Structure 1
């Protein structure tokens, strides 16, 4: 008896709800084993927008966001 036949025999003896659980688990394992596509960098995502952000722009945005934050917590 092959492994496939053993698996099918075991699954057939389960109630339908548990057969669905086995199917979900098999799909999960299949998805987990699938090769993943490489992630794109955030810089690459906005490359076509032709926006140049300088360190001064970042510092200004930080100051606007966090400038009024109290330095000490009592």
Structure 2
């Protein structure tokens, strides 16, 4: 064992060693380019659909 700072003055001690798995680097989130800033438009209520529910049905 190598002390990183001054060695404590103790007669006996316990040492706990923890081995951690090597983790993969975090995934970077993609972000839109700065040139798009302020150009998005919300076309209606973001909670309710802009299209009527009847228009969702497929033609038979």
Q: Which has the higher helix share?
A: 1
Which one has a bigger Cα radius of gyration? 2
Q: TM-score, normalised by structure 1?
A: 0.23
